[in-house]
A and B are shown apart, each in its own frame.
Chain A
C-alpha cells in the first residue's frame, strides 16, 4: 500500500515563474492538505481539499491555488514566484472526519532563485 507520494522531490525555479506540485494521497484517503515549511520552522497550512473543493485556507495570497481531481490526487500551483516562496512543500492526506490520522508525503523542496 503506497503512502502519500509527492512529485517532484526537488525543483529550482526563477523568480516570477510558475510552478505546479503534485500529490497522490494514501490509498483510501479523500482529503488532501498542503503545507509550506520554511527552514527551521513548523509547517504552515496553505489549504485543504475535499470532494474536489477547497474547504479551508490559511493565510496565503491568491498566488497559491490548488486543485483536487476525482481520484483524490491534488496539485498546488504557485504563480509569480518570489524568493520567499523557497521552502519544503508538504502534502498530507487523511480520511474526512474529526480524529483521523494525517499522513505526510516526503515533500517537495522548492528553491526560487
Chain B
C-alpha cells in the first residue's frame, strides 16, 4: 500500500533553534518527493521538490534530504522564526498509468515556534 508517514506529529521549539522533521514512504514507482508548508486554513505552499537522483535541496533556511534507498526524507529548519509555525507536509509523487502523477500526502508535522 502506498503510504507516507511523518514524525513527529507535533513539535514545539524556541525561536532561533533548529529542528528536523522526518518522512518515511512506501510509494512505488516513485517520481519525486515534495515538502510543503501549510498555514492553518490555507493552501500548502511548496518548499522543495526532489527527484530520486537528488540527495539534498535547499530553499533559504529549509534543507530537505532524500535517501531513495531507505525511502526516507527529512526537512531541516535552521534558525527558526515565529513565522515558521505551520504544518509541514511530505508529499510523494506516484507514477500511474498514462504517465500521470498521483500525489500521496503525509498527515503533516505541526510545528509551533515559541518566543
Contacts and interface: CB of A to CB of B under 8 A. Distances in A.
B43 A98 contact: no
A104 B49 contact: no
Contact of A56 (B46, B51, B102, B108): B102
A66 interface: no
B21 interface: no
Contacts of B44: 43, 90, 104
Interface string B99-115: 11111111110000000
Given A42-B106, A43-B105, A99-B31, A104 B100 contact: no
B95 interface: yes
Q: Give the secondary structure class of B's interface.
A: strand
Interface string A87-113: 010101010111111111111010000
B12 interface: no
A42 B107 contact: yes
A96 to B, nearest CB: 8
A113 to B, nearest CB: 18
B95 to A, nearest CB: 7
Interface of B: 4, 31-32, 34, 36, 41-46, 49, 51, 89, 93, 95-96, 98-108
Given A4-B43, A92-B43, A99-B51, 5 more contacts: A42-B105, A98-B101, A100-B101, A102-B46, A104-B36
